[in-house]
């Protein structure tokens, strides 16, 4: 049972591009796992006579009783740690949107329920200003309606390609914010 639980836990952490490999099996167990460093020669020929530098990448090996699995840490994981270690305030997020009026924007095409604390729950038609994109299908954005910031899978959003639509979204956000501020001032 402990071996199966270990496989279930590992299966939650590993994302396969295609689901042709069933990781969880009663006849499979993890023998050993760990991180190794892949050394790769430089892509450009060395111009100077000095020793060329090797590039390094972390690779995770998972040795099972019947197979060997190589994996890499997701790029989004690194970016999410960076965002968590250097968070910006809601005021800084608002300033970033207002200073750069033509930030990339996306619109939610289907609802997404956040699975981690740094993710953003989305409703269909929510609009986000994009702060960061990763190569493995995640983006960090600021929801224009309320200024909430978080990570979402790119599969749940579509790019807003029209510059005029992006500017209209920013203008509408400012208009609503201004009306809200006026209501709060009169109520106080």
Single out the residue of 43, 71, 68 nearest to residue 55, CA to CA. 43
Q: Of all residues in the chain, what percent are helix, strand and coil, respectively (each to 5)?
A: 30, 30, 40
User: pLDDT at residue 16 above 80?
Assistant: no
Task: DSSP for 120-181, please give it.
Answer: --B-TT-EEEEEEE-TTSEEEEEETTT--EEEEEGGGEEE---HHHHHHHHHHHHHHHHHHH
The whole-number pLDDT of residue 45 equals 56
CA dist., res. 153 & res. 114, Å (int): 10
In the chain, the domains with their CATH numbers are 2-42+50-73 (no CATH), 89-187 (2.30.30.40)
Asked if residue 144 lies in contact with residue 170, where contact means CB atoms within 8 angstroms, the answer is yes
User: pLDDT at residue 48 above 60?
Assistant: no
Contacts of range 76-80, beta carbons closer than 8 Å, 24 or more positions apart: 76/134, 76/136, 76/137, 76/138, 76/151, 79/132, 79/134, 79/138, 79/140, 80/118, 80/138, 80/140, 80/151
The whole-number pLDDT of residue 90 equals 65
pLDDT-derived band at 49, boundaries 50, 70, 90:
low
- For residue range 105-163, what is the model confidence (pLDDT) as tens digits? 999 999 999 988 889 999 999 999 998 888 778 999 999 988 899 999 999 999 999 99
20 or 140: which carries more pLDDT confidence?
140
pTM of the model: 0.57
CA dist., res. 122 & res. 3, Å (int): 36
Asked if residue 145 lies in contact with residue 126, where contact means CB atoms within 8 angstroms, the answer is yes
45 or 28: which carries more pLDDT confidence?
28
Tokens 């997404």 correspond to 112
Asked if residue 139 lies in contact with residue 152, where contact means CB atoms within 8 angstroms, the answer is yes
10 Å Cβ neighbour count for 157?
Answer: 22
Asked if residue 15 lies in contact with residue 76, where contact means CB atoms within 8 angstroms, the answer is no
Single out the residue of 87, 176, 80, 59 nearest to residue 127, CA to CA. 176
- For residue range 66-102, what is the model confidence (pLDDT) as tens digits? 988 888 776 767 777 777 777 666 666 666 666 556 7
Q: Which uninterrupted H or E stretch holds 21?
A: none
């Amino acid at each position: 049972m402990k071996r199966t639980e270990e496989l279930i836990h590992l299966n939650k952490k590993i994302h396969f591009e295609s689901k042709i490999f069933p990781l969880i099996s009663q006849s499979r167990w993890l023998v050993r796992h760990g991180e190794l460093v892949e050394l790769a020669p430089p892509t450009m020929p060395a111009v100077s006579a000095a020793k060329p530098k090797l590039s390094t990448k972390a690779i995770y090996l998972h040795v099972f009783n019947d197979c060997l699995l190589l994996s890499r840490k997701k790029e989004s994981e690194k970016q999410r740690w960076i965002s968590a270690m250097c968070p910006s305030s809601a005021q800084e997020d608002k300033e970033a949107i207002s200073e750069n009026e033509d930030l990339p924007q996306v619109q939610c095409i289907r609802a997404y329920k956040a699975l981690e604390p740094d993710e953003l729950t989305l409703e269909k038609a929510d609009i986000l200003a994009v702060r960061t994109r990763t190569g493995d299908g995640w983006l960090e954005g600021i929801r224009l309606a309320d200024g909430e910031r978080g990570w979402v899978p790119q599969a749940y959003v579509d790019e807003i390609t029209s510059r005029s639509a992006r500017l209209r979204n920013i203008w509408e956000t400012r208009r609503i914010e201004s009306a809200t501020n006026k209501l709060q001032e009169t109520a106080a």
